Amino acid sequence: MSITLFCARRIITMDPSLPEATHIAVQDGKILAVGPLEELRDLGEYHLDDRFAGKVILPGFVEGHSHALEGAMWQYLYLGYFPRRDPKGVCWNGITSLAAMQQRLREHAAALPAGEPMVAWGFDPVYFEGVRLNREVLDQAVNDRPLVIFHASLHVMTVNSRMLEYARLEQHAGMEGIMLGSDGRPNGELQEMAAMHGVFDALGRNLFEEVSSLSTLQAYGEVARRVGVTTITDLYNPLTDTGIAALQEITSLPGCPVRLVPAMAALSWTSEQGIERLQACRNMGNDKLHFGLVKLMTDGSIQGYTARMQWPGYHDGHPNGIWNAPPETLHQLVLDYHQAGLQLHIHTNGDEAVELILDAIEDAQTLWPRADHRHTLQHCQFISQAQLRRAARLGVCLNMFANHIYYWGDIHRQKTLGFSRSRRLEPLASALRLNIPTAIHSDAPVTPLGPLFTAWCAVQRQTASGASLGEAERISVADALHMITLGAAYTLRLDHLVGSLEVGKYADMVILDEDPLEQDAARLRDIGIHATVVGGEVYEND
């Protein structure tokens, strides 16, 4: 096969043996050589591709925690607090009052067929003072059809009275997660997965299973490509037969712009079923589809008040959050999957959830020692220094949700954590000091997909109001770039294939308009994505 030689103003490789270069040779979709031109002349005949000669090349970004739902959510109505751009480039204004939310709901409902259930997403009640969103507030806007509103975290939903009736949730008023009003009846708020399933059953579809749609996966890949991502996760995939087939089909199509890494939703299966399914999937992948990860949900989100917190709990006195499964069940699942030799990615937002999982991993390692398990704690929104030291000792990886600092830093400082504790949200610098393998992520669609923005959050630690939060936990631009490339690839156990520009790895690159190591760190999020290269194939942005 012919050799293509890409040149750039600067190539940042993430390879310690050759940190930067000017040329990279690609053959058969893989990296053949990297270096200055004079060192690559011995390769023989090649085609020089100089379209990026004035640009900067990095390894393609690796998004280690996001969801294919990013490709599905925009078929529903957006109700987020912050302005957000959809995959077609249309900017939706944020909803900053309940009255504005009600008006947008009315307008959207008027365009739907009579009686058709309506779904919206992105609402974040923590930004609104006064009455918390409930069925009465929704009834004032839409009372002629079932209405479901997913909160931004996707850990909570609020439904109107018609939806409560439609799903017969009055009959399950004592179930954990079905919140009650002062009259003892369900008030429309449903917390965490178990409480939401009644709504999914009534609608005849589970939103979280829409990741099995080819159109969803295609849209997801396009969103990822535009922000420089070449390897992306779906970190809560049911891995149904239909879903597996869709993943195989989309990644086999010519022009698929990303590599996909689904993680099986552990709570959808018994341990025996899940282990059997994942082991069977290992031979079903291809160059753009990599199976093998397990996703375990423990608690919820701090801003949604569903995360599990140790003493002193929530700063504003809110009751503690809830578990997605009994703690003993979560503990046993860690043991089972660890013993089977599989890698766990474990949602832990609150420090009580972190403690539970560190206990489980320590027990698992005691019973069945594994030198390189790479179990990864996801989000780690609030983790103590003692827990960080323990994670380092246990060989645990961390993937921190750096975007939390911008989107909810002000809220945590004022309401959920207070100023003192909020300074150590996502303690990235501490993790680096302890040599813990660490990545950062967006958790899209919870926040917009965009690794350079996520890196900016980790470097600047600036809230939406412009305040600095935890300056001692800031990291350098170089460290942030590592976390969205090789650091993330390591947590996915794909660092031998992607994450750096080294001989033998996939020729996956992102082309930037400016050099992130030369620009003011405050401009990191503003650097343009010119193109991506996946397996040597170029995808240029419009």
Q: What is the pLDDT of residues 342-385, one digit of tens each?
A: 999 999 999 999 999 999 999 999 999 999 999 999 999 999 99
Mean residue pLDDT across the chain: 94
Quick one: average pLDDT of 182-190?
87
pLDDT of residue 271: 97
3 state DSSP class of 478: helix
Query: Quick check: 417 and 382 in contact, CB under 8 A?
Result: yes
Q: Based on the domain organization, do 330 and 471 belong to the same domain?
A: yes
Amino acid at 304: G
CB 160 within 8 A of CB 125: no
Kindly indicate the confidence band of residue 27, based on its pLDDT and cuts at 50, 70 and 90.
very high
Buried/exposed 173-196: b ≥16 CB within 10 Å, e otherwise: eeeebbbeeeeeebbbbbbbbbbb
The answer on 225 and 194 residing in a single domain is no
User: What per-residue confidence (pLDDT) applies to 418?
Assistant: 96
The model's pLDDT over 405-450, given as tens digits with 9 standing for 90+, comes to 999 999 999 999 999 999 999 999 999 999 999 999 999 999 999 9
- Contact partners, residue 289, CB within 8 Å, separation at least 6: 247, 248, 251, 259, 260
The answer to whether residue 42 sits within a structural domain is no
Residues 319 and 376 in one domain: yes
CA-CA distance, 5 to 328, in Å (whole number)? 55
CB atoms within 10 A of CB 255: 8
Q: Are the beta carbons of 105 and 116 closer than 8 angstroms?
A: no
Task: Using pLDDT thresholds of 50, 70 and 90, give the confidence band for residue 87.
Answer: confident
Pick from 207, 226, 244: which residue ends a domain?
Answer: 207
Give DSSP secondary structure letters for 33-81. Answer: EEE-HHHHGGG-S-EEE-TTTTSEEEEPEEESS--GGGGTGGGSEE--S
pLDDT of residue 341: 97
Please return the burial class of 31, using the count of CB atoms within 10 Å of its CB with bins 0-12, 13-18 and 19+.
buried
pLDDT at 155: 86
Same-domain check for residues 383 and 487: yes
Q: How confident is the model at residue 310 (pLDDT cuts 50, 70, 90)?
A: very high
Same domain, 442 and 382: yes
**pLDDT, position 58:** 98
User: Is pLDDT above 70 for 1?
Assistant: no
Residue 232, both tokens:
């992306």
Mean pLDDT of 487-493: 98
Q: Which two tokens stand for residue 355?
A: 């403690």
- The model's pLDDT over 266-293, given as tens digits with 9 standing for 90+, comes to 999 999 999 999 999 989 999 999 999 9
Q: Which of 188, 207, 226 is the last residue of a domain?
A: 207
Cα separation, 313 vs 351, in Å, equals: 10
Inter-residue contact 260 to 234 (CB < 8 Å): yes
CATH number of the domain residue 414 falls in: 3.20.20.140
- Residue 132 DSSP label: P
pLDDT tens-digit series, residues 193-235: 778 888 888 888 887 788 889 999 999 999 999 999 999 999 9
DSSP codes of every residue in 178-235:
EEE-TTSSEEEEEEHHHHHHHHHHHHT--GGGGGG-HHHHHHHHHHHHHTTEEEEEEE
Q: Cα separation of 469 and 403, whole Å?
A: 12
Find the domain containing 152 and state its range: 75-207
Per the domain annotation, does 28 fall within a domain? no
Q: Considering the domain boundaries, does residue 243 fall inside one?
A: yes
The three-state secondary structure class of 311 is coil
Q: What is the DSSP letter of 322?
A: -
What global pTM score does this model have? 0.93
Domain assignment of residue 143, yes or no: yes
**Sheet bearing 229-237, strands edge to edge:** 61-63, 229-237, 259-265, 293-297, 343-348, 376-379, 397-400, 438-440
464 in the same domain as 422: yes
Which of 207, 230, 251 is the last residue in one of the domains?
207
User: How many domains is the chain built from?
Assistant: 2
Indicate the residue type of 228: G
Report, as an integer, the average pLDDT of 150-166.
Answer: 90
- The DSSP-derived string for 4-40 is EEEEEEEEE---TTS-EEEEEEEETTEEEEEE-HHHH
Q: In this predicted structure, what is the pLDDT of residue 528? A: 97
Query: Are residues 114 and 256 located together in one domain of the fold?
Result: no
Q: Looking at residue 170, what is its pLDDT?
A: 79
Residue 490: predicted pLDDT? 98
**Would the pLDDT of 88 be above 70?**
yes
The owner of tokens 């400016």 is: 514
